[in-house]
């Protein structure tokens, strides 16, 4: 048999082939982690800004709430004062008036002013006659100068001088009433002496006393005729006592600067004021207050040009024993405290408090020029129309082209029946209360740099281990 050949030796088995190097895997993971770190850094900067913005909104909202509560307390104090006055006994004691009694009361008022009117008339007459005498004196002097010039040209001035001097004396005496002449100045009307003025004053007082006596005699028949005919409206019985009580009620520590009692037709019956001439306008809000069956009526804000600041109008009805309204007690509240409050609550260069009335006109602001100019903020600030419609909130808005955080509160939401529909706003520029975009970028870069540094350190150690373990 032929010898068998030994079988061929089988080739050795090959190990598994590496598709991706471990080093490449580590590098890919490191790159992905680096991207994640950058994204997380940006998200951290965004969340940090949002957290800061939320804190700013909370602080501004709290400030607006505190300011609205403070304003409401001040107005509530004025309201309670007015209500207390309206419940005094003399405010509820009434009498029935009539056509004749009203006319007599008007005549009594005119009579009380008669001496002053007479003195004013005499003073005006004296000033006119004094000016007339001066003009006539000038005319006489010019005429005599002309005569002297004419005689001088004729060469007769020396002979005519005695006659001209005599004529000058006579005309001067006639103008001034001197030397016993019954001339233009001889009447007591033209006498500037104190005795003549006392006589004129006594004449005015005498006429006033005679008128008062006549009116006192007509008072009883007038009341009888008014009672027999159709009676007139009710009005307070003792206006003198009411004036005294109102004068005592005004205080420098109170916000009320004037108090007025009016009938339901708007006629002023009594009143006192600390601010000079009162704004005496029976406007539409008073008509609504007279017709409304309410215990208090908040009115509009009127700007007093003489004072340079706004005044809030308010009214309460005066009721008789049967609880029927017969008159109004109105008041004017000085709103200067709003500007003081706005000036004290400034949190920075641009952060400030602002108060607007029902029309959007600024009535409280750190810049007094805006209050004096009666600037309307409805168009410049988008939050003003919202707050005037009773809305509240804190938003990021553009005011005057600049981003602001605006917190706004509606004053009327605190008391629907006793407070006006004003808006209280706190404005803060975003650039002032939050870090700028560059600062946010720097924060993100700092966080990313820290994370990438740690990642680089760890990845380097991992790569060294991989190379040692797997040989690259």
Same structural domain, 348 and 372 = yes
Same structural domain, 268 and 194 = no
In this predicted structure, what is the pLDDT of residue 408?
Answer: 92
Query: Percent helix, strand, coil in the chain (nearest 5)?
Result: 55, 15, 25
Positive or negative torsion for Cα 271, 274, 277, 280: negative
Q: Is residue 16 part of a domain?
A: no
Q: What is the pLDDT of residues 268-306, one digit of tens each?
A: 888 888 876 555 555 666 667 766 677 788 888 888 877
φ, ψ dihedrals at 300, nearest 5°: -85, 175
Q: Is residue 15 part of a domain?
A: no
The structural domain count of the chain equals 3
In this predicted structure, what is the pLDDT of residue 119?
Answer: 78
Q: Is residue 12 part of a domain?
A: no
Q: Tell me if residue 319 falls in helix, strand or coil.
A: strand
CA 113 to chain centre: 35
In this predicted structure, what is the pLDDT of residue 181?
Answer: 44
Token pair of 461, please?
Answer: 């150690």
Same structural domain, 355 and 469 = yes
DSSP-derived letter for residue 347 is: -
Same structural domain, 134 and 260 = no
Are 190 and 129 within 8 A, CB to CB? Answer: yes
Q: Is residue 136 part of a domain?
A: yes
Same structural domain, 209 and 260 = no
Same structural domain, 221 and 243 = no
In this predicted structure, what is the pLDDT of residue 355?
Answer: 93
Q: Examine the fold and report which residue of 283, 318, 334 is the final residue of a domain before the chain moves on.
A: 334
Q: Is residue 11 part of a domain?
A: no
Are 409 and 392 within 8 A, CB to CB? Answer: yes
Residue 438, beta-bridge partner list: none
> Cα–Cα distances in Å, from 190 out to 64, 131, 172?
68, 11, 15
Same structural domain, 352 and 440 = yes
Q: Which of 377, 350, 352 is nearest to 362 (CA)?
A: 377
Same structural domain, 54 and 113 = no
CA 252 to chain centre: 18
Are 421 and 410 within 8 A, CB to CB? Answer: yes
In this predicted structure, what is the pLDDT of residue 422?
Answer: 92
> Cα–Cα distances in Å, from 2 out to 5, 7, 16, 149?
9, 15, 42, 188
Q: Is residue 13 part of a domain?
A: no
Q: Examine the fold and report which residue of 334, 365, 383 is the final residue of a domain before the chain moves on.
A: 334
Half-sphere exposure of 357 (CA within 13 A, CB side): 19
Token pair of 183, please?
Answer: 């001339």
Query: Which residues of the chain, if any, have pLDDT below 70?
Result: 1-27, 29-31, 33-34, 37, 40-51, 96-102, 173-201, 223, 226-233, 252, 276-287, 290-292, 346-348, 433-449, 451-453, 455-459, 461-472
Same structural domain, 301 and 345 = no
Which helix (H) or strand (E) segment holds residue 262: the answer is strand 256-263
Same structural domain, 326 and 346 = no
Q: Distance between CA 441 and CA 434 in Å, rounded?
A: 13
DSSP-derived letter for residue 376 is: B
Same structural domain, 416 and 364 = yes
CA 226 to chain centre: 45
Q: Is residue 406 part of a domain?
A: yes
In this predicted structure, what is the pLDDT of residue 56?
Answer: 78
CATH label of the domain that carries residue 244:
3.30.450.20
Q: Is residue 347 part of a domain?
A: yes
Same structural domain, 163 and 115 = yes
Q: Examine the fold and report which residue of 312, 334, 356 is the final residue of a domain before the chain moves on.
A: 334
Domain span holding position 356: 23-78+336-472
In this predicted structure, what is the pLDDT of residue 447?
Answer: 65
């Amino acid at each position: 048999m032929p010898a068998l050949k030994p079988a061929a030796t089988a080739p050795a088995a090959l190990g598994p082939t590496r598709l991706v190097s471990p080093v490449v895997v580590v590098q890919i993971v490191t790159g992905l982690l680096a991207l994640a770190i950058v994204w997380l850094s940006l998200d951290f900067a965004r969340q940090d800004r949002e957290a800061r913005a939320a804190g700013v909104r909370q602080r501004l909202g709290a400030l607006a709430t505190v300011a609205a509560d403070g304003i409401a307390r001040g107005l509530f104090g004025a309201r309670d004062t007015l209500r207390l006055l309206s419940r005094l006994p003399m405010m509820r004691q009434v009498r029935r008036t009539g056509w004749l009694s009203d006319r007599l009361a008007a005549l009594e008022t005119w009579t009380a002013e008669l001496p002053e009117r007479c003195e004013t008339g005499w003073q005006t007459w004296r000033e006119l006659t004094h000016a007339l005498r001066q003009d006539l004196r000038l005319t006489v002097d010019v005429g005599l100068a002309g005569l002297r010039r004419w005689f001088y040209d004729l060469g007769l001035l020396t002979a005519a001088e005695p006659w001209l001097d005599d004529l000058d004396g006579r005309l001067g005496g006639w103008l001034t009433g001197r030397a016993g002449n019954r001339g233009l100045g001889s009447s007591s009307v033209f006498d500037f002496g104190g005795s003549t003025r006392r006589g004129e004053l006594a004449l005015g007082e005498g006429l006033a006393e005679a008128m008062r006596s006549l009116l006192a005699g007509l008072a009883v028949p007038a009341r009888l005729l008014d009672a027999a005919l159709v009676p007139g409206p009710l009005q307070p019985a003792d206006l003198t006592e009411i004036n005294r009580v109102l004068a005592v009620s005004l205080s420098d520590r109170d916000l009320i600067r004037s108090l007025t009692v009016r009938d339901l037709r708007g006629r002023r019956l009594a009143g006192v004021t600390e601010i000079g001439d009162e704004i005496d306008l029976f406007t539409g809000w008073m008509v609504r207050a007279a017709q409304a069956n309410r215990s208090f009526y908040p009115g509009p804000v009127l700007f007093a040009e003489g004072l340079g600041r706004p005044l809030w109008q308010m009214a309460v009805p005066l009721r008789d024993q049967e609880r029927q309204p017969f008159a109004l007690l109105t008041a004017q509240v000085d709103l200067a405290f709003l500007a003081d409050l706005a000036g004290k609550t400034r949190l920075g260069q641009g952060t400030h408090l602002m108060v607007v009335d029902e029309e959007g006109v600024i009535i409280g602001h750190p810049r007094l020029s805006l209050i004096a100019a009666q600037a309307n903020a409805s168009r410049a600030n988008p939050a003003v129309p919202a707050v005037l419609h009773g809305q509240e909130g804190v938003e990021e808005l553009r005011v005057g082209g600049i981003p602001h955080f605006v917190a706004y509160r509606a004053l009327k939401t605190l008391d629907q029946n006793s407070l006006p529909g004003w808006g209280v706003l706190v404005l803060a520029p975003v650039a002032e209360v939050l870090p700028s975009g560059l600062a946010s970028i720097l924060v993100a870069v700092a966080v990313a740099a820290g994370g990438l540094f740690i990642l680089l350190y760890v990845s380097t150690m991992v790569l060294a281990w991989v190379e040692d373990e797997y040989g690259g």
